[in-house]
Amino acid sequence: MDGILQIDVEKILAAKAGDKARYVPRFLVSYLKKIVHQDEVNEVLRKYHDKRGIDFVNAFMEYFNNTFEVNGLENLPKDRLCTFVSNHPLGAQDGLGLAYILGPHYKGKIKFLVNDLLMNIPHLAEFWVPINKTGKQARNFPQQVNAAFDSDNHIVMFPAGLCSRKRKGIIRDIDWKKTFVTKSVQSRRDIVPIHFEGENSKFFYRLANINKMLGIKFNIAMLYLSDEMFKNRDKKFKVTIGKPIPWQTFDKSKTPTEWAQHVKEIVYTL
């Protein structure tokens, strides 16, 4: 079993904080292990260490007992490359759920534009295109995106970049980024809107709102996404696939940013 990826909170703290890691209270380390579900995540990684791609996604869904009610499968194009865009209500089951639905349909020819942290999970590396607009990879960001859209894979994106937030009792994405519009037009890909029905805990949304209110740059709520993943165990999710929007639709009558919000509104009407 040597060489199997395992999550170790203490080693991560040591790598990120260096000598200062020794000053982190033991109770806080234990709490971090609990909220990231270190033992349970490592069980999954050990149990399915030999699975990759769709096989790992299928095993994940079986382990978490997640099922999907999918509407609009007839809207999936068969004769052209597309960009699939979805709201981002959860953090794990929505991304893996779309891989579970779209992956077999397109024989694995899908790529997700994601933060490069997910590339540390080798079981799913074949699906991810790492994009990081900060740090060392910032200078490579345009090339990575262009390469993805120039490939013969379908592209899947969560244009909000962050999980949905709760405002005035309504769960919705923040404003969508325009990249999916500009790159889809350049590569002549139709855009397929998808609505994923789901929600995280009230605690998650309260924490995210407090994070924003206090102006804290670090996304504290992100630490709890693993916890939310386990809270969403044994749930059924409804996924609705809308009709493809021809790339020619995105003309100069609106700016790319305005078109991005327009597609977002379409998603929430599905």
Q: What is the CATH number for 200?
A: 3.40.1130.10
Residue 197 is predicted with a pLDDT of 95
Phi-psi region of 135 (alpha: psi -120 to 50; beta: other; left: phi over 0): left
Q: How many domains does the chain have?
A: 2
Does 9 share its domain with 107?
no
Instruction: Give the pLDDT of residue 256.
Output: 96
SS3 for 89? Answer: coil
Based on the fold, state whether residues 143 and 220 are members of the same structural domain: yes
pLDDT of 138: 54
Give the domain range for residue 15.
1-47
> Distance (Å, rounded) from C-alpha 257 to C-alpha 75?
25
Are 24 and 55 found together in one domain? Answer: no
- For residues 179 and 161, state if they share a domain: yes
Residues 200 and 230 in one domain: yes
**How confident is the model over 201-208, as a mean pLDDT?**
88
Is the pTM above the cut of 0.85? yes
Among 11, 26, 47, residue at a domain's last position: 47
Mean pLDDT along residues 119-128: 77
Q: Where are the alpha helices (DSSP H) in 87-140?
A: 93-105
3-state secondary structure (DSSP) of residue 87? coil
pLDDT at 8 over 90: no
Of the pLDDT bands very low, low, confident and very high (cuts 50, 70, 90), residue 132 is low
pLDDT at 154 over 60: yes
The answer on 63 and 12 residing in a single domain is: no
With tokens 């790159």, the residue in question is 183
Distance CA 11, CA 4 (A): 15
User: Which of these, 152, 141, 77, 70, lies nearest to 111 by C-alpha position?
Assistant: 152
Amino acid at 177: K
Distance CA 112, CA 40 (A): 25
Beta carbons of 109 and 216 less than 8 angstroms apart: no
Strands 82-86 and 165-167: unpaired
Q: Are residues 196 and 229 in the same domain?
A: yes
41 and 170 inside one domain: no
Question: Of 97-101, 129-133, 147-151, which gets the smallest average pLDDT?
Answer: 129-133
- Of 23-37, 112-126, 189-203, the one with minimum mean pLDDT is 112-126
Cβ 158 vs Cβ 195: under 8 Å: no
The H-or-E segment that residue 222 falls in is none
- By C-alpha distance, which of 145, 140, 75 is closest to 113? 145
Q: Residues 194, 101: contact at Cβ < 8 Å?
A: no
Does residue 87 share a domain with residue 19? no
d(CA 79, CA 211) in angstroms, rounded, equals: 44
Confidence of residue 2 (pLDDT cuts 50, 70, 90): low
pLDDT at 238: 97
Q: Is pLDDT larger for residue 217 or for residue 201?
A: 201
Q: What is the pLDDT of residue 260?
A: 97
Buried b (16+ CB within 10 A) or exposed e, 167-196: eeeebebbebbbbbbbbbbebebbbbbbbb
- Do 78 and 195 belong to one domain? yes
Supply the mean pLDDT for the chain: 87
